[in-house]
């Protein structure tokens, strides 16, 4: 009797060990790391700064979501086509990438044209906007940042300050200026948001709007800025581009203020950069990966805004003493409602 009992115990132990072994193998297979290829901005001054922001998102994704991320800088070696080829070596992505994400217009166009027709590997293009049809746009998440929300907040701050004498560099005229380049597909959105924000904060104020054919047109940008100063403008909002430096030079010469876009650019001219509209590629990247993990990353064109955290206002830094409590409270209220504003009217 005792021998049969011992034999049964051994058999049960062997079965338990076998089941544990099979379970461990299954867990090992199911927990193979989710891998993401992040195609960052091309190498440039602005690209480098925005890639730094994207790196915050990379570290957060790895820490909070347990995902492996490889960041690639276009033009520094490696082909985008290879990212898709690696991702499709195995049906479940074990030998390659499970998701490809690109940042910005240029990198996203490279990604879209490199993506093989009929590819089943999920992909997302962030901070991307183009009116023309692009390859595979029904199969890829094409995400435009709702920058009009951010520029609205900037316009509200500019209109308020220009309409009062709270800041020593503003004058009695409630006039501000918008300068953007037509080769930036987001310029109409920036312009609509900024103008609406100015009118909300200062109904009696006004915006002089100037549009460059190219962001590289430095001479015309300087001429526009000087003309605006003569008309009484004391605060400029500039879309991204090389022309920003010329506007800054005029602001420094004439003691005016400038709001810039991309990252916190206060270091370029601390006394004259009022604030910056930061494009939060870190949050957008986290959002894209989290959605993909939840099988909730939709294909096609879509717009992400304050609710997805894709923009924020930089600190006022040395200008903060001139930003009175009433303005700070008003800006907070505008942040709470900006997602509901219809900028099409």
Nearest to 288 by CA among 120, 105, 65, 26: 65
Q: Are residues 160 and 286 in the same domain?
A: no
Cα(39)–Cα(173) distance, integer angstroms: 46
Q: Are residues 329 and 205 in the same domain?
A: yes
First to last CA, the chain: 90
Q: Is residue 21 part of a domain?
A: no
Task: Please check whether residues 152 and 215 belong to one and the same domain.
Answer: yes
Residue 108: pLDDT band by 50, 70, 90 thresholds? very high
Both 123 and 186 in one domain: the answer is no
For the entire predicted model, the pTM comes to: 0.88
Both 120 and 186 in one domain: the answer is no
Residue 86: inside a domain: yes
Report residue 20's pLDDT band, with 50, 70 and 90 as the boundaries: very low
> Is 26 contained in some domain?
no
Residue 18, in any domain of the structure: no
Give the per-residue pLDDT at 86: 58
Q: pLDDT at position 78, please? A: 60
Report which secondary-structure segment, H or E, holds 299: none
**Does some domain include residue 11?**
no
Q: What is the pLDDT of residue 85?
A: 77
Q: Do 162 and 86 share a structural domain?
A: no
Strand order in the sheet with 273-279: 206-212, 175-181, 235-238, 257-262, 273-279, 311-313
pLDDT at 28 over 90: no
- CA within 13 Å, CB half, 146: 18
Q: What is the CATH number of the domain that holds 212?
A: 3.40.50.2300
Same domain for 297 and 272: no
Task: Return left, alpha or beta for 31; rule: phi > 0 is left, psi -120 to 50 is alpha, else beta.
Answer: alpha
Tell which phi-psi region holds residue 194, choosing left (phi > 0), alpha (psi between -120 and 50) or beta.
alpha
For residues 163 and 235, membership in a common domain is answered with yes
Residue 190: strand, helix, or coil: helix
The answer to whether residue 1 sits within a structural domain is no
Q: Which domain, by its residues, includes 236?
A: 147-278+315-340
SS3 303: strand
pLDDT value of residue 27: 42
List, for residues 51-71, the tens digit of each pLDDT value. 999 999 999 999 999 999 999
Q: Is residue 120 part of a domain?
A: yes
* In a shared domain, residues 80 and 156: no
Over residues 35-40, the mean pLDDT reads: 96
What are the backbone dihedrals phi and psi of residue 313, each rounded to the nearest 5 degrees, phi first?
-95, 130
In a domain, 43, yes or no: yes
Structural contact between residues 237 and 154, judged by C-beta atoms closer than 8 angstroms: yes
Residue 338's closest CA among 117, 154, 175?
154
Same domain, 323 and 256: yes
Nearest-CA neighbor of 136 among 159, 119, 161, 160? 119
The stretch 12-32 carries a mean pLDDT of: 44
* Whether residue 202 sits in one domain with residue 56: no
Number of folded domains in the chain?
A: 2
Q: Does 45 lie in the same domain as 193?
A: no
Q: What pLDDT digit, counting tens, does each position of 110-141 carry?
A: 999 999 988 999 999 999 999 899 998 899 99
Is residue 94 left, alpha or beta, with left meaning phi > 0 and alpha meaning psi from -120 to 50? alpha
């Amino acid at each position: 009797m005792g021998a049969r009992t011992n034999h049964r115990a051994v058999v049960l132990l062997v079965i338990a060990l076998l089941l544990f072994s099979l379970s461990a193998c299954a867990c090992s297979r199911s927990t193979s790391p989710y891998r993401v290829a992040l195609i960052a901005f091309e190498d440039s001054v602005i690209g480098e700064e925005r890639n730094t922001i994207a790196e915050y998102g990379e570290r957060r994704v790895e820490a909070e979501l347990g995902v492996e991320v490889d960041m690639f800088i276009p033009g520094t070696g490696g082909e985008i086509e290879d990212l898709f080829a690696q991702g499709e070596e195995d049906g479940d992505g074990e030998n390659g990438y499970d998701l490809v994400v690109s940042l910005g217009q240029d990198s996203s166009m490279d990604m879209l044209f490199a993506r093989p027709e009929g590819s089943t590997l999920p992909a997302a293009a962030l901070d991307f906007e183009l009116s023309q049809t692009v390859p595979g746009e029904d199969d890829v998440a094409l995400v435009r940042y709702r920058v009009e929300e951010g520029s609205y907040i900037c316009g509200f701050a500019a209109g308020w300050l220009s309409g009062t004498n709270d800041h020593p560099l503003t004058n009695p005229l409630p006039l501000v200026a918008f300068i953007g380049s037509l080769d930036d597909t987001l310029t109409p959105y920036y312009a609509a948001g900024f103008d609406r924000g100015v009118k909300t904060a200062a109904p009696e104020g006004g915006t002089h709007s100037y549009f460059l054919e190219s962001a590289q047109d430095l001479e015309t940008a300087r001429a526009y800025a000087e003309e605006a100063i003569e008309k009484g403008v004391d605060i400029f909002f500039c879309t991204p581009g090389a022309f920003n430096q010329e506007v800054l030079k005029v602001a420094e010469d004439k003691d005016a203020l400038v709001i810039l876009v991309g990252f916190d650019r206060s270091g370029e001219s601390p006394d004259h950069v009022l604030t910056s509209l930061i494009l939060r590629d870190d949050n957008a990247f986290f959002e894209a990966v989290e959605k993909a993990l939840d099988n909730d990353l939709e294909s096609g064109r879509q717009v992400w805004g304050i609710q997805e955290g894709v923009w924020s206002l930089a600190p006022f830094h040395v200008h903060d003493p001139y930003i009175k409590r009433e303005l700070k409270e008003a800006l907070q209220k505008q942040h709470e409602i900006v997602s509901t504003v219809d900028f099409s009217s």
